[in-house]
Amino acid sequence: GDGRFSARSSSELVAYKNVNELPVRRELMIQIDQKNEAVLLPINGSMVPFHVATIRTASSQQDTNRNAYIRIIFNVPGTPFNPHDSNTLKYQNCIYLKEVSMRSKDPRHSNEVVQLIKTLRRQVMARESEKAERAT
Amino acid sequence: MTDGGHLFNNVSLEGRGGTNPGQIKFSSIGLLWKKSGGGKAVEVDKTDISGFTWMKIPRTNQLSVRTKDGLYYKFTGFRDQDVSSLTTFFQNSFGLTPEEKQLSISGRNWGEVDLNGNMLSFMVGGRQAFEISLADVSQTQLQGKNDVILEFHVDDTTGANEKDSLMEISFHIPNSNTQFVGDENRP
């Protein structure tokens, strides 16, 4: 619905409101939840959701052993376009997750994941900046 | 059950290697988990258990068991009614009341880092996003003044069935943060 995105800053975006809204995991692998604009990362046996707006870049690489590497860099204060620079005071005692690197057994999956994250991120960012413009 | 134990048939052991389906039995002497079809087993004597934690995850519940040696195990597949019956059982048989933790679902990447024994928890708004055992960390690095990098052992021996496995994670501690007491030199 539209009400969920009435917040002005992208730092207010929330992926889920209830734990049962999370997708049921099939396998311990990176999952993209388009509907809730979330990226779920397998960390230590759990699927951990991140809103796509917290992600700055996603990239993949492949080595000669057919291992693929996925690197996700998150927004942190002090980087351009960070949502927190305007109200750093509120978050001054926070610690930020900055980067997660994973190795994937499936190069096709890793490329797909990176493309999906990029596309979803672009869509969300476009919508949010449009919303911000209309608000001013 | 004749000895007053509790048996659950669809309980998976979760870890960095992935998910292993199996069954778990709790009895007055401790717990025993066995992988379906044999192979791996986890046995913890009640005198070695230091605590339990429940967490609700999508469609099911997860139990974390911490041992006095600093090890921990995560088991998934408990129904809501199992949570209440086991909580009573743990209190009566082990004298331990499980903690309850909530999973962070907001999707935010900022919060607090809690260190408890060799467990590092990343907490977002009082809810847990993830936990890392420092035993799995092969190296820590300080990058610049503000970033801490944790590198993980790449473990190919556990019959890892997870498709994507964690290699590296980094945290950013802004200059404004005066509360972080600094664990850059650990472990």
pLDDT 10s per residue in chain B (187 long)?
445 689 999 999 987 767 889 999 999 999 999 999 888 899 999 999 999 999 999 889 999 999 998 888 999 999 999 999 999 999 999 999 999 999 999 999 999 999 988 889 999 999 999 999 888 899 999 988 899 999 998 765 544 567 888 999 999 998 777 665 455 444 3
- In this structure, which amino acid lies at residue A85? D
pTM of the model: 0.86
Report the Cα–Cα distance between both ends of chain B, in Å, rounded: 44
Cα dihedral A104, A105, A108, A112, rounded to 10, equals -30
Is B145 within 8 Å of chain A by CB? no
Q: What is the CA radius of gyration of chain A?
A: 16
- What ipTM was assigned to the predicted interfaces of this complex? 0.85
Chain A hits for B104, CB-CB cut-off 8 Å, are 48-49
Does B169 contact A at CB distance below 8 Å?
yes
Across the interface, whether the CB atoms of A46 and B57 are under 8 A apart is answered yes
Q: Which of B60, B106, B136 to mutate to test the interface with A (most CBs of A within 10 A)?
A: B106
